A = this chain, B = another copy of it.
Amino acid sequence: MKVTITDIAKIANVSVATVSRVINNKSKGVSEQTRTRLLKLIEEYNFEPNAVARGLVTKKSKIIGLLIQDIANPFYPRLAKGVEEEANLRGYNIILCDGNNSEEKEVNYLDFLNKHYVAGIIYNNFNNIGDKILNIIVNNSIPLVFIDSKIDIPGIRCVYVENEKAIYELVSYLISIGHRKIGFITGPMDSYSTNERFKGYIKVLEDNQIPIDYDLIVEGDYTIPKGYETMGILLDRKTEMTVVVCCNDLMAIGAMEMLEERNIKVPDEMSIVGFDNIDMSRIVRPKLTTVSQPSYEMGRAAAKMLINIIENKSKKNDASVVFLPELVIRDSVKKLN
C-alpha cells in the first residue's frame, strides 16, 4: 500500500498540516528542526504526495495537454519534442492527444483534458473550428494557446508561421526562374494552413498577372499516398505544367514516386517543391526544394507562452508569436530561364 500524508503525520507525531507545509516548500511556518526531521521520514518511507488528491483541492495540475492532428506526420514529432522539453524545464508534463484528423476525436480529447483539470492546452487545430469546438474553447476557462494555426478570438494567443507569405515567396521564386504553369496540391481544404497557403498561391499569381487555371489545382490530404494519387490526376489532365507546388513534403515525395513510375524526370521534365523541410526531404533524390518550418522552436515558444499564462507571468505585451519560414533551395526545381 502506498503511504499517505496522514501516515507520515502519525509517524512523526505532527499534524498533516505541517507535513503539507514541508512537501510544498512553504518557507515559513515550520521550524528547521521539524522540517529536516520530516524530510528524512518522507525519504525513508518513500512518500509521494498523491497528485490526484492534490489536484482535487487546488484545481490545478502540472499537466499540459497537447492536441495535435497526426503524430505519424513527421512534422509533429519535432513540434511535440519542443513542447515537451520546454515544459519539462518548468516542471510540467505533457499529455499528447492525437486528434487523427477527426473532429469527433478532437472534441473527445478536449473534453477529456477539461475534465482532468489540465493546467493548460496547446491546440493545433487542423480543421476549421466548428461551433462545437469553439464553444468548448471559449467556455472552458483553461488557458489555451494555438499552435501552427491562428484564430481571432480575443485573449487567445497563437504561435504560427506566415503560411501565406511562405507560399508567396516560394512561388515568386519559381516565377523568377521562368515557371508560369504552376500546379498546386493543397492539403484538406478545411484546414487552416491549407487555406493560408492557397491564398498565398492565388495572390502571387494575381500579382504576376498569371491567370489562375483550376486544372492545375487538386486537393490533397498531407499524406504520401495522396501525393502519389493527386500527381497522377494532375498529369492526366495534360496541362503544360512545369512545376508542382505541394502543400507538404510528404505529398511532394508521393508525387515524385508517381513521376518516377511514369518515367518523368525530376527536375528536368517536371519540377517539384514541398513544404515543411522534414528529414525525408533531404533524403529523397533529387533533394527536395521546400520551405522550412521551425517546428521545434514553435513547440518551445508555445509551451513557454502557455506556462507564462498559467503562472500569471504573461506580460501585457506577450502577443502571439509569428515565425518566418525559410526557403530551402535544393535540387528538385529546374531553372527555365
Residues of A within 8 A of B (CB): 48-53, 55-56, 61, 63, 71-72, 74, 76-78, 80-81, 84-85, 88, 93-98, 100, 105, 109, 111-112, 114-117, 224, 253, 279-280, 283-285
Contact (Cβ within 8 A) B115 A51: yes
CB-CB under 8 A for A95 and B96, given A116-B52, A283-B280: yes
Partner of A56, one of B56, B97, B224: B56
Partner of A71, one of B52, B81, B112, B284: B81
Contact (Cβ within 8 A) A50 B80: no
Q: A88's closest neighbor in chain B, by CB?
A: B105
Q: Which residues of B contact A53 (CB under 8 A)?
A: 56
Contact (Cβ within 8 A) A283 B253: yes
CB-CB under 8 A for A74 and B71, given A80-B98, A81-B98: no
Partner of A48, one of B84, B88, B97, B114: B114
Closest 8 pairs (CB-CB, A-B)? A96-B96, A51-B115, A285-B285, A71-B77, A52-B55, A95-B95, A72-B77, A51-B116
CB-CB under 8 A for A94 and B96, given A72-B81, A279-B280: yes
Q: Within the assembled complex, what's the spacing in Å between the Cα atoms of A55 and B117?
A: 12
Contact (Cβ within 8 A) A279 B111: no
Q: A117's closest neighbor in chain B, by CB?
A: B52
CB distance from A280 to the nearest CB of B (A): 6
Q: Which residues of B contact A74 (CB under 8 A)?
A: 74, 77
Contact (Cβ within 8 A) B81 A49: no
Contact (Cβ within 8 A) B95 A49: no
Q: Which residues of B contact A51 (CB under 8 A)?
A: 112, 115-117
Q: Within the assembled complex, what's the spacing in Å between the Cα atoms of A36 and B34?
A: 55
Q: Which residues of B contact A100 (CB under 8 A)?
A: 84-85
Q: Within the assembled complex, what's the spacing in Å between the Cα atoms of A130 and B128?
A: 47
Q: Which residues of B contact A84 (CB under 8 A)?
A: 71, 98, 100
Q: A62's closest neighbor in chain B, by CB?
A: B112
Provide a sorted-by-A list of 9 A–B residue pairs whose CB atoms are within 8 angstroms: A48-B114, A51-B116, A52-B116, A71-B77, A72-B81, A94-B95, A253-B283, A283-B284, A285-B285
